[in-house]
A = this chain, B = another copy of it.
Amino acid sequence: MSQPFLATDPAGAHRGPLDSYLVEDQVGFLLRRAHQRHAALFQETMAEADLTPTQFTALIKVVELGRVTQNQLGRLVATDPATIQGVVQRLMARGLVGRTADPMDRRSAVLAPTEAGLELAGRAVVLARRITAATLEPLDAAERLGFLALLRKLS
């Protein structure tokens, strides 16, 4: 009665909907694993700059734009308002970005990179290029292009 839906069912019978469903072959699982691997490589390589992937992305965007509203930044880096709030808070605590009130719109907070933020961003990008290379290392040149193209279609 409580016999599991064994994938390697000795009787080979069709016991249930789990037949021929292998979690480890699903996109979701593979996507999660690939993301995990990238995150591990990121942390390892970015250690000296002490930035998480999200922090790095946010910082780079602030540096690139010079001035951004917090929610606007969140939209650009695909991070919802609740999450970007904490990220910005941590970047501010480290003095990497500054924050001023917008005279035009008293609701919004305008972010801008500090000198330290500019400096760290410069160093971090060098590391980030290494991370990208390390992540794609198992693929050859053609596969890398293909993979990025496919990823873009799924974003």
* Residues of chain A at the chain B interface (Cβ within 8 Å): 1-7, 16-18, 21, 23, 25-38, 42, 53, 56-57, 60-61, 63-66, 77-78, 112-115, 118, 121-123, 125-126, 128-129, 131-132, 135-136, 138-139, 143, 146-148, 150-155
Contacts and interface: CB of A to CB of B under 8 A. Distances in A.
Nearest to A28: B38
B37 A5 contact: no
Contact of A23 (B21, B35, B60, B151): B60
Contacts of A154: 33-34, 37-38, 135-136, 138-139, 147
B118 A21 contact: no
A23 B57 contact: yes
A143 to B, nearest CB: 6
A38 B31 contact: yes
Nearest to A115: B2
A61 to B, nearest CB: 6
A125 to B, nearest CB: 5
Given A4-B65, A5-B64, A118-B5, A126 B17 contact: yes
A6 B66 contact: yes
Which are the 4 A-B pairs with shortest beta-carbon distances? A4-B66, A33-B155, A30-B151, A34-B154
Contacts of A56: 23
Contact of A5 (B63, B143, B153): B63
Contacts of A60: 18, 21, 23
